[in-house]
Amino acid sequence: MAQPQRPYRTPNRVPPRRPSAPRRQVYGFDGGRRGSGCGLVVVALLLLLFGGGAYAYNRVSSALGQISSGEDVRPTTIAKGPPPALLQAPFNVLVIGVDLRPNDPTEGARSDTLIVVHIDPVQKWASMLSIPRDSLVKIPNDQCPNAAGTKINAAYACGYRNPEIYGTGIDSEDAGAALAAETVEQFLGIKIPYTAQVDFNGFQKIVDTLGGVPVDVPRAILDAEYPTEDYGYMRLYIPAGLQRMDGTTALRYARTRHADNDFGRAQRQQQVLQAVLDEIKRQGIVSQISTATKLLDVASQYVRTNLRIDDASTLTGLANLAQE
């Protein structure tokens, strides 16, 4: 299967204007607040599902090999698959919350959420860095409109609309993720070998499969112009306080922009991701294989990643890490 051949370029660095700084939060695998995990849904599923060791491995390894939008996993230009030392060294993953509208050629797809997750499997900690979608950046491809200075969420859309920039036979979603990762690499000055795309329907289904997630809303949310699927608007109100949110409410809580600002939005996105991970741990997913299988079924349909986890050594390493 063809994969992007365009080499990564390091263009002349032009310091971009940053209307708001990325929002960072740190988590760990052990103890207290840090024991609640890294907050990345995909990584949480992998770590927790393999906590049962060989039994879990035998039960779900075949399904895990299909975590993508289909059985055929095509790495982007950023990575050719996991290195042998995947679990022996820190690595970065770009989580992309994608608003896919394939029936609307004027919209196509856009990255509504960008979160860089840094995972250190040796020290057993991870951090999340949310990037405001209006951050002004330079996209490292001249085919993109206003590439010299545009909003960061335009990178995914440009790659999605122009997959040929990575060669023939490249899927639009793979190209979108690759260009988004290259743009974030340039913006932050770090390497991002892996991407994980989650479309909003999939996020809702993951939450609903868990039976909802508990979220403590610090301040009431009121958004009189929350965008709807039919390009209209609705009034969104979420009261303050601890509450159990279904998938639809959790998504609206994470996405609303008019209730506060980009900093608040970044905090809410990380809060909801962490709530998902906490709920997976609270339910003891490993001991409830039926729930684990349902989550994997959802992931196989709605999560697309170039992080290959279908080899025995990686799966065994994940199981061991989860048990430590």
What are the chain's domains? 23-323 (3.40.630.190)
Query: What are phi and psi for residue 172, nearest 5 degrees?
Result: -60, -40
d(CA 299, CA 45): 9
Q: What is the pLDDT of residue 184?
A: 96
Angle at 198 between CA 195 and CA 201, to 5 degrees: 170
All residues at 6 or more sequence positions from 272 whose CB lies less than 8 Å from its CB, including other chains: 213, 215, 245, 250, 253, 254
Instruction: Please give the average pLDDT of every successive group of 10 residues along the chain, which has 324 residues.
Output: 42 40 47 35 40 37 43 40 60 85 62 86 78 91 90 92 89 92 96 87 88 96 88 93 97 87 85 86 65 70 71 53 50
Closest CA to 61 of 70, 50, 73: 50
Query: What does the alpha-carbon distance between residue 175 and residue 158 come to, in Å, rounded to a whole number?
Result: 9
| pLDDT the model gives residue 17 | 39
Phi, psi of 135 (to 5 degrees): -60, 135
What are the tens digits of pLDDT across the range 194-249?
888 888 888 898 899 889 999 999 999 999 999 887 778 999 999 999 999 999 99
String of DSSP letters for 225-243: EEE-TTS-EEEEEE-SEEE
68: number of Cβ within 10 Å: 24
Whole-angstrom distance, CA of residue 65 vs CA of residue 221 = 39
**Angstrom distances, CA of residue 264 to CA of 107, 136, 259:** 26, 19, 9
Neighbour tally for 216: CB within 10 Å:
10
Chain centroid offset of residue 288 CA = 25
User: Quick one: pLDDT at residue 305?
Assistant: 79
Tell me how long the chain is: 324
Contact 246, 305 (CB under 8 A): no
* CA neighbours closer than 13 Å in the CB half-sphere of residue 146: 10
pLDDT of residue 30: 37
Whole-number Cα distances in Å, 166 to 94, 137, 198: 19, 21, 22
Which of 61, 48, 93, 90 has the alpha carbon at shortest distance from 321?
A: 48
CB count in 10 Å sphere of residue 114: 27
- 243: β partners: 215
Give CA–CA dist 219/264, Å, rounded: 11
With a CB cutoff of 8 Å and minimum separation 6, the contacts of 20 are 132, 134, 135, 261, 262, 263
Position 62 scores a pLDDT of: 46
pLDDT at 320: 54
Q: What are phi and psi of 235, to 5 degrees?
A: -90, 125
